[in-house]
Amino acid sequence: MISNNIEKLYGRVKSRALTNRQAELYKSLLPGVSIASFDSSFLSRYVGVSFEIGFGSGEHLFQLAISSPNKLFIGCEFFINGITSLLSKIDEEKIENIKIFQGDARKLIPEIPNSTIENVFLLFPDPWPKRKHIYRRFVQERTILGIYKMLRDDGFLKIATDCPTYAQWVNTVLATPSCDKKFAIETFDLSSRPDESVWPKTRYERKSIENCTFFSLKKLRSL
Ligand SMILES: C[S@@+](CC[C@H](N)C(=O)[O-])C[C@H]1O[C@@H](n2cnc3c(N)ncnc32)[C@H](O)[C@@H]1O
């Protein structure tokens, strides 16, 4: 059950009433797909584990799961309509390599053993463009360091945004003394966007009319 506290912090977790089918999937399918914590046995059961923060309706996670059935894809989201959209896709395609953490990704990150995760995706995070809301942005020194720790030595953190202020903010955080030299940084704009076969588009990106920035951050070996 999503607590009222989450609603206070992040706003509504449901935007419209669920259809009967969505409500049924939420009740019957979610319990078998959802995780309340990180299970270390995932690491031996799959050849790789990746993690998406705020998957929205789950298009990106779903495409990756279809392309790599021997890898596990864990998605974190608290938006119920988005979760039920992903559940519909999982149900239709009988996908078995997606797990959903219904809640704040920042709760799960500290549980994940060091140097274990292949990729972390943060695609179109809420931009919180006003200065007074900077503290709400997902990218902060502590979250970047948490992600750095959980990534394998050859792992990637991939971020996309269509908000220039957020793109600048990512660069600012990556340049702080605690995050500097932790990643090899590559950035792309729309003209050089990685191919959809390796970086599927999300619903947000399809609707966006702004130019987007894509960050591909390769973890540098722990010093
Ligand atoms: C702008 S939407 C983008 C959704 C999706 N990634 C896309 O590109 O279509 C941002 C999403 O991140 C989710 N979100 C924000 N903070 C989160 C957190 N701390 N943990 C999990 N999900 C989060 C929100 O519920 C929202 O669905």
Instruction: Report CA(28)–ligand 1 centroid distance (Å).
Output: 24
Nearest CA to 76 out of 18, 120, 128 is that of: 120
Mean pLDDT for the chain overall: 93
Output the pTM of the full model: 0.93
Q: What is the distance between the alpha carbons of residues 77 and 57, in angstroms, rounded to a whole number?
A: 9
The sign of the dihedral angle between the CA atoms of 18, 34, 111, 66 is: negative
Tens digits of per-residue pLDDT, 5-40?
A: 545 444 456 677 888 999 999 999 999 999 999 999
pLDDT of 223 above 60: no
Helix axes of 141-150 and 164-174: crossing angle, nearest 10 degrees: 70
**Atom of ligand 1 lying closest to residue 123 CA:** 6
- Catalytic: 126? yes
Instruction: Kindly indicate the confidence band of residue 221, based on its pLDDT and cuts at 50, 70 and 90.
Output: confident
Residue of 3, 79, 201 to test ligand 1 pocket, by largest number of atoms within 8 Å of CB: 79
Every domain of the chain and the residues it spans: 40-219
Instruction: Kindly name the residue from 39, 91, 104, 126 that is annotated as catalytic.
Output: 126
CATH topology of domain 40-219: Rossmann fold (3.40.50)
Residue 40 Cα, ligand 1 centroid: separation in angstroms?
25
Q: So what's the pLDDT on residue 209?
A: 82
